[in-house]
Amino acid sequence: MLLPTFAVAQEDTRPPLTVGVNTVRANFDPGLALGNVDIPITYNMFDTLVARDFSKSKDRTSYQLVPGLAESWKQIDDRTMEFSLRPDVHFHNGQPLTSADVKFTFDRILDPASDYVEARNLLKVIERIDAVDDLTVRITTKAPSPILLQLLAYHTSEIVPKAYFESVGESGFGQKPVGTGPFDFVKLQPDESIDLKANDSYFRGRPTISRLTFRSIPEVSARITALANGEVDIINSIPPDQLKAVESLGCCEVRSVLMNHHFIQYNTYNPVMADVKLRQALNLAINRQLLVDALWDGKATLPHSAQYEAWGPELYDPNRPTPPFDPDRARQLLKESSYKGQPIFYVTHPVYYTNGVAVAEAVVQMWKAIGVNASVRVDEGWTQLTKDNPVLTARNSSDWVVPTDPAVTLYMTWSKDLWKDEARFDELAEEGETTLDRGRRHDIYQKMIDLFEEEAPGTYLYRAPEFYGVRSGIEWLPNTEYTTDFRPDNIHFTK
């Protein structure tokens, strides 16, 4: 006689992890959720065809590309690349990954009627995607592209499931996303938290944590208190003047990584800001080294104009100076300009950028010192202000840094709606992103930087570090570009 058997649930001994962040927004469609506050979350739910291995450099800024959802790829001709997908990869809902999902992912973005404006701008070099068979995809570009693989490693290119997306629609997908990543969506409370659970069939290995929660704690002091009390395990966006407070807790330590450039963008459609001499004067009035020393404890770095060392020696010019500070020349240009004391507003979000308000207040004082009628305007909807809004004269922002190529970090950053007379800039950019000749590309992008400096549609301030508070016993390292990685090879516990 057979005795009855009972299934006994095995206890999950892996610890959960809670991350205290400055905000949790309401949409996690990777084609739309492209902000600094979105990427730490979406990166843990989705994967791309091509992956970036940050661990290849000690400072976690490496741009070495490795296979992702595609196990290999090959060049068919100068405009076509073929990708072989990994077999037996499944989305969180159990659906197998196929070439139809890859094609749909990009087709939905490239549709000119879709809402994916910024993502489409990044991927506009793609002409079409063809599903050759279930596990083979071909991507054809409009012209030879030197950065296609880098674009495919960026968050806009995270793969979504066609059938599920079509069944719930764009809005439904953004609120209940499904990917192939190490963590599966459980629950979203906008402005409060998002809960994820381990995807134990993840193709890169079983996650080392059972659940992952991102909890919104806008105030820095409250995030530090939550870390001290053990309510959260990691916190982000700690200002430099609070680092000692975290280190003195006894339970935690600070870890950091360099992120992107912070800059000021001028609205040249505004009649006041249309005068190039005024814009040049504003740029010369800013003491960036003082900002770095006083507000970043010397830990931010000054850029050599609108470029990154990661462009590589063939494109980056180390001989370009950092932006100058010359208040006397600034006053002279102000006198020569058409400026007559009209108000200039520096618009910033209250918490989006670490030190965002403090930097705005400091810069405004520097502008006042040369005779500008400037003030700070704090506005949670600062990115929604349109160019015809009289309040929008200047606002803070940060650049596109992935891919680390001037086609993105220079062109796509500045080819936006606030620079009125950018036609020549755009012409050069189109030439630069459709040639494979590195020497020619160097010359094109250096000309674009010259134009940027002359026209002054904005100015770079510094490259900012991001500081995290981490409870002791957690072996985890932050990556650059806000890719907060909790994949199994990057987080372990010693306690």
pLDDT of residue 102: 98
Of 122-126, 176-180, 485-489, which gets the smallest average pLDDT? 122-126
Please indicate, yes or no, whether residues 299 and 150 belong to a single structural domain of this protein. Answer: no
The predicted structure's pLDDT at residue 8 = 42
CA distance 429 to 452: 12
Q: Are residues 481 and 403 in the same domain?
A: no
Amino acid at 273: M
Q: What is the pLDDT of residue 140?
A: 98
The pLDDT score that the predictor gives to residue 10 is 62
> Which residue, 469, 466, 385, is CA-closest to 37?
466
Distance CA 228, CA 112 (A): 48
C-beta of residue 198 within 8 angstroms of C-beta of residue 187: no
**246 in a domain, yes or no?**
no
Q: Residues in the chain, how many?
A: 495
Q: Report pLDDT digits (tens) over 8-18.
A: 446 789 999 99
Q: Are residues 22 and 171 in the same domain?
A: yes
Question: What pLDDT, in 10s, does the model give residues 55-114?
Answer: 888 888 887 899 999 999 999 999 999 999 999 999 999 999 999 999 999 999 999 999
Same-domain check for residues 488 and 457: no
Does residue 242 sit within a domain?
no
DSSP 18-40: EEEES---S---TTT--STTTHH
Q: Report the CATH number at residue 416.
A: 3.10.105.10
Q: How many domains does the chain have?
A: 2
Average predicted confidence (pLDDT) for the chain: 93
Residue 443 corresponds to which tokens in the numbers above?
Answer: 């010359």
- Band (pLDDT 50/70/90 cuts) for residue 7 is very low
- 52 is a domain residue: yes
Pull the structure tokens for residue 413: 């950053």
Q: What percentage of the chain has pLDDT greater than the value 90? A: 82
Closest CA to 461 of 311, 263, 221, 274: 263
Rounded Cα distance between 409 and 311, Å, is: 9
- The average pLDDT across 256-270 equals 94
Q: Is there a domain that residue 147 lies in?
A: yes
φ/ψ bin of 482: left (φ > 0), alpha (ψ from -120 to 50), beta (otherwise): left
Q: Please check whether residues 196 and 280 belong to one and the same domain.
A: no
* The pLDDT of residue 1 is above 70: no
The whole-number pLDDT of residue 220 equals 94
Q: For residues 455 and 477, state if they share a domain.
A: no
Q: With cut-offs at 50, 70 and 90, classify the pLDDT of residue 408.
A: confident
Q: Is the pLDDT of residue 265 over 50?
A: yes
* Between residues 118 and 270, the one the model is more confident about: 270
Output Rg (C-alpha) for the chain, integer angstroms: 24
pLDDT-based confidence at 401, cuts 50/70/90?
Answer: low
With respect to residue 9, please indicate whether it lies within any of the assigned structural domains.
no
Judge if 377 and 282 occupy the same domain: yes
pLDDT above 70 covers a percentage of the chain that reads 98
Residue 3 — pLDDT band, cuts 50, 70, 90? Answer: very low
Amino acid identity for residue 106 in this structure: F
Residue 488's pLDDT is: 96
For residue range 279-322, list pLDDT tens digits in order.
Answer: 999 999 999 999 999 999 999 999 999 998 888 888 999 999 99
Same domain for 489 and 430, yes or no, is no
Q: Are residues 168 and 281 in the same domain?
A: no
pLDDT over threshold 60, residue 462: yes
What are the start-end ranges of the H helices in 126-181? 148-152, 162-175
Write out the two tokens for 56: 């290849």
Residue whose entry in the numeric block shows the structure tokens 């069939």:
201
What are the structure tokens assigned to 277, written together? 């001499």
For residues 461 and 478, state if they share a domain.
no
Q: What is the CATH number of the domain that holds 78?
A: 3.40.190.10
- For residue 314, tell me if it sits in a domain: yes
Model confidence over 319-346: pLDDT tens digits? Answer: 999 999 999 999 999 999 999 999 999 9
236 is a domain residue: no
Q: How many CA atoms lie within 13 A of 157 on its CB side?
A: 24
Q: Which residues have C-beta within 8 Å of that of residue 443, sequence separation ≥ 6? A: none
Kindly state the tokens that stand for 193: 């938290």
Q: Does residue 457 form part of some domain?
A: yes
340 and 278 together in one domain: yes
Domain that holds residue 176: 17-213+472-493
Residues 36 and 135 in one domain: yes
